[in-house]
Amino acid sequence: MSKTPSVLPVMVASENGRAGMSAAMELLRQGGSALDAVELACRITEDDPEDHSVGYGGLPNAAGEVELDASIMDGRTLQTGAVAAVMGYGSPIMLARRVMEQLPHVLIVGRGAERFAAELGRQPADQRTEAALARWRERFVEHGLTPGVDGDLRGLARQLAVPVTLRDRGPVPAQEVKRDDTQGTVNFLARDQRGDLASAVSTSGVAWKYPGRVGDSPIIGAGNYADNRYGAAACTGRGELAIRVSTARSLILYLKMGMSLIDAGLEALRDLVFLQPTSGHYMNIVAMTPDGAVAGFASAPHGVYLHMHAEMDGPQLAERICLPEQE
């Protein structure tokens, strides 16, 4: 009787993925697929009202509306699905998975994605929480504007730079750095017992963004990529950067060219640094190779990520790798 090959399940995630990773690892231990694992992990994060970077309770756009983006990719087939700028429905990662499985398309946005959700029988649900709206109001007051007043939002959208840059923070132990949720997102990469890879990304996007703005998270190749043959990668941070240099796919291509995981990640960071990001704009990457090696990278110091394999008790934090100071 032939035996199904079994490899050790592994996951890697952005630092806000702890609860999702624990539940998804249980699924992987029971023989679940990498695709189901990353979807489950994302859904748990999306439903957490305390996480203001994703799903329900995500920080609103400049007009006070929550617009959600998500994508999922199957490393076995390179099939993928994504939704962007979805308003009034939760769990965008479920929609992304259904796009992949039920439509002859890859990316559905705005009204179309909302129609698709309704056709799937999903109930509309306001994704705004009082806490997230309070922060949006505070932001308007900071800029001397009146919340809720329709008008020209271009000025506000231009002033989105995060006030404290991670670089300015000095040597702080990684565990004590407060996460910047105004550019937050959640990433999950998984390898299952069959050795298949999958990746999922979900976000409410950059806080106070111009309505309709879409970042890297639902753009396959920018914020998300998985290919069983070479590896998987996903991004958090300022999506405009990853879109401009196709960060997730670039890292995988560097692996395909024969670079080690560390060298591939550093090369992807060099691509990002070449863009000379505005102070406070940063990009983080998590990556995994088919043999289960994982790493996290960041364009600014003090970033952390989570990793876990099936024989560990729970997710562990590790420091992200940056480019050497002299570069």
Give me the residues that bind ligand GLY (CB under 6 A), please.
185, 203, 205-206, 215-217, 223, 236-239
Nearer to ligand GLY, 90 or 218 (CB): 218
Q: Cite the beta strand spans of 61-184 per DSSP E.
A: 68-74, 79-86, 107-109
HSE on the CB side for 263, CA within 13 Å?
A: 8
Q: Residue 133: in which H helix or E strand, if any? A: helix 130-142
DSSP 112: H
> What radius of gyration do the chain's Cα atoms show?
19
Q: Is 45 a catalytic residue?
A: no
State in angstroms the smallest separation of the CB of 311 from ligand GLY.
Answer: 31
State in angstroms the smallest separation of the CB of 157 from ligand GLY.
Answer: 13
Nearer to ligand GLY, 14 or 129 (CB): 14
Nearer to ligand GLY, 51 or 216 (CB): 216
State in angstroms the smallest separation of the CB of 1 from ligand GLY.
Answer: 47
Tell me how many helices (H) and strands (E) the chain has: 9, 12
State in angstroms the smallest separation of the CB of 223 from ligand GLY.
Answer: 6
What residues does 251 pair with on adjacent strands?
none
Which residues lie below 8 Å from residue 59, measured CB to CB, with a gap of 6+? 52, 53, 66, 132, 135, 136, 181, 182, 204, 207, 208
Rounded to whole angstroms, the Cα distance separating 54 from 67 reads: 10
Which residues lie below 8 Å from residue 280, measured CB to CB, with a gap of 6+? 161, 162, 163, 164, 165, 166
The active-site residue out of 185, 236, 247, 289 is 185
Nearer to ligand GLY, 202 or 228 (CB): 202
Nearer to ligand GLY, 26 or 240 (CB): 240
Asked whether 320 and 296 are in contact (CB, 8 A), the reply is yes
DSSP, residue by residue, 209-273: PPTT---STTSBTTTEEEETTTEEEEEEE-HHHHHHHTHHHHHHHHHHTT--HHHHHHHHHHHHH
Nearer to ligand GLY, 10 or 62 (CB): 62
Q: Residue 136: in which H helix or E strand, if any? A: helix 130-142
Q: Which residues are catalytic?
A: 185
